[in-house]
Copies of this chain bind each other. A is one copy, B any other.
Amino acid sequence: MMKAAKINTVRIAESTWSTYEPQEGIFDFSHVERVLDAMEEAEMSVIIGTPTYAVPAWMVKSYPDVLAQTNQGRRLYGARQIMDITNPTYLFFAERIIRKLMEKTASRKYVIGFQIDNETKYYGTAGKNVQKRFVKYLRNEFHDNLEAMNRAFGLDYWSNRINAWEDFPDVRGTINGSLGAEFQKFQRSLVDEFLNWQARIVREYKRQDQFITNNFDLGWKQGSYGIQSDVNHFQASACLDIAGVDIYHPTQEHLTGEEIAFGGDLIRSLKHQNYLLIETQAQGFPEWTPYPNQLRLQAYSHLASGANSVMYWHWHSLHNGCETYWKGILSHDLQENAVYKEIKKFGTEWKQLDSHLVNLKKKNKAAILVSNEALTGLQWFRINGSLEYNDIVRWIYNCLYRWNIECDILSPDTKDFSPYEFIAVPALYAAPSQLLHRLNDYVKAGGHLLVTFKTAFTDEYLKVYSNIQPSILSECLGVSYQQFTYPQQVRLHSKLFTGTQKKEMVQEFMELLIPTTAKVLASYAHPAWKNYAAVTGNNYGKGYAVYVGCMTSNTILEQILFHVLENTNLLEEREIVQFPVIVRKGINDFGKTVQYYLNYSWEKQTVLYTHKEGMNLLTQNKVSTGTYLEIEPWDLQIIES
């Protein structure tokens, strides 16, 4: 059935350690070999996953210390991802199973690569051993200078000073966000270390033509949503040959393509290259059962973002276990179903087109800067209620997405911002001063910057800057503030906004901005706050920097964004269509431009094709400049020109 649907690759082995090592030191890879034999016969490729993210029962029974000690105490056996990834016993067994598995599989012809572990994070590990290492990490970080650490974290407060390293308290009880967030940063570094260690082992065995990847997962909110709190993907991906990701998302009326695009842009940006979509939903949760044609639209959307694979988790629905209702391509009856038939349909299309679609290269002029430290920082110091860092990131990202401005995702370690005409910086809460200086320099050199509230409020240790807010960036922004509040019935007053936008309320958070050199783009329509600015724009050097001091409606954000982009080429380059028609493009291996026109709606869409004459890859018809493209509901067109 896989062959018939033109499926050409499978991933195996990443979850079933207890099958391969049924008892300590007794190995049985017959299941793996059986699949490898079958794949060889079918001429299908295989990705081998190391099975280290789910430990066997015997290990926990004999060595209970392998289970992570978390803030909630010792984990009980049962779920995956419950072990202490620094525990030597665990690492001993993990190394042995990896080596045994590599011995059996690395030489096999159809094995094209290896996935080390799966959705790796630090699983809350915070036992004594981890805390001991954390103290050593801090001694190193602060050059053994306790006073420096007390000052950086502000530990005088509530008598939390640590006056001897021996007195270091159980960090799980801390109420000091600086200390707590630094511990999380340290915990994230354990993931880098763990993946590096696995990669080094696998590299001892793998062939030149085989790759190493991981299957990263995104921060979750009714699907793949934002960046992660428990792993720094930029750093963790350093040891990989190619980045991999799983992306899950709502469908039916809620299918927008936003998660596919955001996840793709993020993972593509990790190593500035194409990436593997290692998992995505076939049927997924009951509420995600796809409408007819949605699955095909989704698959093309992944390719349009730069994915070099679309792999489903999983082939067939499971008959037991807690993912029984996370359904695969086949339903539990293992027969052809609507989903399989649709996959077979576009599998066959791809078979014809794949050389035109893979390796799509992008050169985006827009970017968004994201930060794990800002994310966890804003968990310790919440903006307002349940509003999270990723909500701000997606508020900005989705706006660009709806208007078909493709972008890269940048890490705080980015040294060179010059490739970008426009950079958005949402809520960069924990902001090292060097990074802020680099952003100033970027604007000075002609860049266009959009910065939101909560940016540059604290340094990397979550210490609030004591000079001015937003610290350092106030230079390029030409604005500062001393106060902020939660809006109650506050609207915006601005020439930028029209009609109903004037009635839209400020949401969740607002800073009371006082411009220095900046012009006021919007001010607050409220008797108490009318003298304060809400949004400002400032010419700085050759560039222009806009500060958005409050959370606005989506349509108001769009007006602000257009204002920033007016002086760039981005507005001209972008397609004149907008969501629900999404346009993605890139250069393929033939050096040609491939343009996807994706219709995320029940309505047929008509789009004016304004580019050079091209070829509709799906119909193999020519498309002349000035033609109107008709795109059926939940359908797409691909033009190569």
Contacts and interface: CB of A to CB of B under 8 A. Distances in A.
A209 interface: no
Nearest to A75: B173
A25 interface: no
Interface string A157-170: 11111111011111
Nearest to A287: B486
Q: How many monomers of this chain does the complex have?
A: 3
A507 interface: no
B80 A159 contact: yes
A434 B288 CA distance: 34
Given A76-B172, A333-B466, A333-B468, A318 B157 contact: yes
Given A175-B321, A332-B466, A61 B485 contact: no
A77 interface: yes
Contacts of A320: 153-155, 157, 176-178, 461-464
Interface residues of A, number: 97
Nearest to A528: B291
Given A79-B175, A176-B320, A338 B287 contact: no
Interface stretch (A49-57, A498-506, A555-563): A49-57
B286 A169 contact: no
A463 B318 CA distance: 9
Contact of A322 (B177, B253, B325, B602): B177
Contact of A321 (B57, B163, B177, B287): B177
Interface in A114-134: none
Interface in A581-618: 602
Contacts of A162: 18, 57
Contact of A175 (B51, B286, B322, B483): B322
Given A466-B319, A482-B338, A173 B76 contact: yes
By secondary structure, the A interface counts as loop
Contacts of A166: 61
Nearest to A337: B482
A159 B78 contact: no
A319 B485 contact: no
A23 interface: yes
A50 to B, nearest CB: 12
A349 B12 CA distance: 76
A440 interface: no
Given A483-B337, A528-B292, A57 B18 contact: no
B321 A154 contact: yes
Contacts of A163: 18, 22-23, 56-58
Interface in A517-570: 527-528
A466 B155 CA distance: 56
A140 interface: no
Interface string A171-184: 01111111000000
Contact of A465 (B76, B332, B483): B332
Nearest to A634: B528
B56 A482 contact: no
A466 B338 CA distance: 17
8 contacts: A18-B162, A19-B161, A51-B159, A54-B159, A79-B158, A283-B483, A320-B461, A324-B381
Name the 6 nearest CB pairs between A and B, nearest first: A154-B320, A76-B173, A78-B173, A54-B159, A18-B161, A22-B163
